[in-house]
Chains A and B, each alone.
Chain A
């Protein structure tokens, strides 16, 4: 089973709202990722958690705040977003077997975010 789940599927929020996106995997993967994807563009990496610690932050604005409560869960807290932040937000996970040469990422279905 290579399933990553994300909630909610759709989210509409105002620029003053605070909301959170959630991601879960039960594959025993030790790396989890947040991506942002605009229409007709490839996914853009935002954050990576490895063994529940933030290992990569791609200079994302502070209005996006990631959290990894445990090895199966990943949250993205949103606050004071701008309309240009409207996009499909994707979560992914990977095994992170350090002795292997590569690490395959499996994506969730995404959360469609609209900021009004």
Chain B
């Protein structure tokens, strides 16, 4: 059974304090791994798609990396507006089905 585990469950950072969020997965035949950002009461906002081990993608203060077992979302010098829940999801055998992790709630304090 495909599984996705995110850690930590919650993370509190000071503004400018860099850190990483982890997404571990066990799937048979990974098609893609996705990162989304979700603000309270809003829909998930697409951030990145990663396809194969070794791949990296960047967007502003965010950088996503992928290995054969996990993905990291690195946040460099975060700002309060980066506060949100970050969701990781994988697409495997079920082409249109995403298996989501439970998310990491990030709070960045000024």
A101–B96 contact, CB under 8 A? no
A-chain residues with CB within 8 Å of residue B43 when the two chains form the complex: 4, 6, 88, 90, 92, 107-110
A103–B36 contact, CB under 8 A? no
Per the bound structure, the CA–CA distance linking A101 and B95 in Å amounts to 8
A residues neighboring B (CB under 8 Å): 2, 4, 6, 31, 33, 40-43, 45, 48, 50, 55-56, 88, 90, 92, 94, 96, 101-110, 112
B97–A45 contact, CB under 8 A? yes
How many A-B residue pairs have C-beta atoms within 8 angstroms? Tell me. Answer: 62
B residues neighboring A (CB under 8 Å): 31-32, 34, 36, 41-46, 49, 51, 87, 89, 91, 95-98, 100-103
Per the bound structure, the CA–CA distance linking A88 and B43 in Å amounts to 9
Known contacts: A56-B97, A90-B43, A109-B42. The answer to whether A41 contacts B32 by CB under 8 A is no
B102–A103 contact, CB under 8 A? no
Q: Which 9 A-B pairs have CB atoms at the shortest separation, nearest pair first?
A: A102-B32, A42-B100, A107-B43, A102-B31, A110-B43, A107-B44, A109-B43, A90-B43, A108-B43
A90's nearest neighbour on chain B, judged by CB, is B43
Shortest CB–CB separation between residue A46 and chain B, in angstroms? 12
A42 contact from B32, B51, B96, B101, Cβ within 8 A: B101
Interface centre among A6, A55, A110 (most CB of B within 10 A): A110
B42 contact from A43, A50, A94, A110, Cβ within 8 A: A110
